[in-house]
Amino acid sequence: MNRNNLAIRRNVSLKPYNSFRTQATAAFFCHPKTNEELMTILKEFSNEKMLVLGAGCNLFFTKNFDGLIIKPDMIGIKLLNETSEFVDLEVGAGEDWDRFVEFCVEKGYSGIENLSLIPGKVGAAPVQNIGAYGTEAKDTIVKVNAIDINTGNFISFSNKECAFGYRDSIFKYNRQYIITSVVFRLNKNFRYTQKYADLNHEMNNIRHPSLRQVREAIIRIRSHKLPDINELPNAGSFFKNPILTQREKEELLVKLPEAPFYPSGNEAYKTSAAYLIEKAGYKGLRKGAVGIYEHHALIIVNYGTENGRDIVNFMHEVQQAVEEKFAIRLLPEVQIY
Ligand X SMILES: Cc1cc2nc3c(=O)[nH]c(=O)nc-3n(C[C@H](O)[C@H](O)[C@H](O)COP(=O)(O)OP(=O)(O)OC[C@H]3O[C@@H](n4cnc5c(N)ncnc54)[C@H](O)[C@@H]3O)c2cc1C
The catalytic site residues sit at 167, 237, 333
The CA-CA-CA angle for residues 207, 211, 212, to 5°, reads 100
Residue 302 Cβ vs ligand X, minimum distance, rounded to whole Å: 11
Closer residue to ligand X in complex, CB, 131/308: 131
**Site residues (vs ligand X, CB under 6 A):** 19, 52-59, 72, 93, 118-121, 123-125, 127-128, 130-132, 171, 177-179, 226, 229, 234-236, 335
- The secondary structure element, H or E, covering residue 148 is strand 141-148
| Eight-state DSSP code of residue 231 | T
Residue 231 Cβ vs ligand X, minimum distance, rounded to whole Å: 11
Residue 135 and residue 114: Cα distance in Å, rounded? Answer: 6
Residue 72 Cβ vs ligand X, minimum distance, rounded to whole Å: 5
Residue 199 Cβ vs ligand X, minimum distance, rounded to whole Å: 13
Residue 279 and residue 283: Cα distance in Å, rounded? Answer: 8
Nearest to 178 by CA among 141, 153, 142: 153
Contact 296, 225 (CB under 8 A): yes
Residue 27 and residue 29: Cα distance in Å, rounded? Answer: 7
Closer residue to ligand X in complex, CB, 179/321: 179
Side chain identity, residue 75:
I
Q: What are phi and psi of 71, to 5 degrees?
A: -115, 95
Residue 36 Cβ vs ligand X, minimum distance, rounded to whole Å: 16
Residue 8 Cβ vs ligand X, minimum distance, rounded to whole Å: 18
Residue 247 and residue 263: Cα distance in Å, rounded? Answer: 14
The size of the chain, in residues, is 337
- Alpha-carbon 78 to chain mean position: 23
Closer residue to ligand X in complex, CB, 115/252: 115
Residue 270 and residue 255: Cα distance in Å, rounded? Answer: 16
Closer residue to ligand X in complex, CB, 112/178: 178
Closer residue to ligand X in complex, CB, 54/209: 54
Rg (CA), the chain: 21
Closer residue to ligand X in complex, CB, 234/321: 234
